[in-house]
Amino acid sequence: MGTTNPLASLLGRSPFKPMQEHMRKVVLCAQLVPALFDALEQDDRETLNQVKASIFELEHQADALKNDLRAHLPNSLFMPVARRDLLELLEVQDAIADSAQEIAGMLTLRVDLVPPAGMCGAFKALAQHCVRTCEKAGEAIEQLDELLETGFGGRESERVQRLLGEVGTLESETDKLGIALCQSLFEREKDLNPVITIMLYQMIREIGELADNAEKVGDRLRLLIAR
């Protein structure tokens, strides 16, 4: 459908398309994280390294998109939103891919960095919930074009606000899952290598960062709509 917005027509190409393309790549990074814990649970180091390599490649592709967007994003004078707002949104999107890369890197640092027996499923469950939070934020980013068409108002704005409310709810749930997982980990602390305990604790926090950064995407999008 052709655009009715004169600014969008002037640009010829929505400034949001590259943002959406970047977010899709970022969400793909996050979606691979649960597979890392599947591989760990099955003690399949080959698959673990393959998944890690895929996450690193996707993160690299996201970085390339980010750098290209930074270099070619036009001045605010030629855009319906401030260039600074888009760049800040881009940064928090990119942080999701960075977290996924950090998790993959940590899990392959040491062969003995494995959740205690029976806990791999809980790590995976936390990761899956964080992925759902990222996917919901991605759905909101996919509405940017429609928001532009409607001048950031009307039903489309209400729809995006609902999506962002769901992002916030999912993020709160991940906090609870993360706290429960930390408690379960510390209950087994006396049976674990102290270094491994600390690294697994950091791992839980890093998994939670996926959802935290998805919520930040929502926060930046709210500000963009409000302006």
pLDDT tens digit string along 174-220?
999 999 999 999 999 899 999 999 999 999 999 999 999 999 999 99
- The answer to the question of residue 8 being in a domain is no
Residue 141: per-residue pLDDT: 94
Asked if residue 3 has pLDDT above 90, the reply is: no
Going 54 to 60 to 66 to 71, the CA torsion angle's sign is negative
Give the number of domains in the chain.
Answer: 1
Band (pLDDT 50/70/90 cuts) for residue 138 is very high
Percentage above 90 pLDDT, the chain: 68
* Mean pLDDT, all residues of the chain: 89
Q: Is residue 122 part of a domain?
A: yes
- Answer yes or no: are the C-beta atoms of 83 and 115 closer than 8 Å: no
Which of 114, 101, 117, 136 is closest to 206 using CA atoms?
101
Q: Which domain range does residue 158 map to?
A: 15-226
As given in the structure block, the two tokens for residue 90 are: 């881009």
Give residue 36's pLDDT. Answer: 96
Report the predicted TM-score, pTM, of the whole model to 2 decimal places.
0.89
CATH at 102: 1.20.58.220
Q: What is the pLDDT of residue 13?
A: 55
CA-to-CA separations, 81 to 28, 66, 86, 138, 222, in angstroms, rounded: 27, 18, 7, 19, 13
Looking at the domain assignment, is residue 207 inside a domain? yes
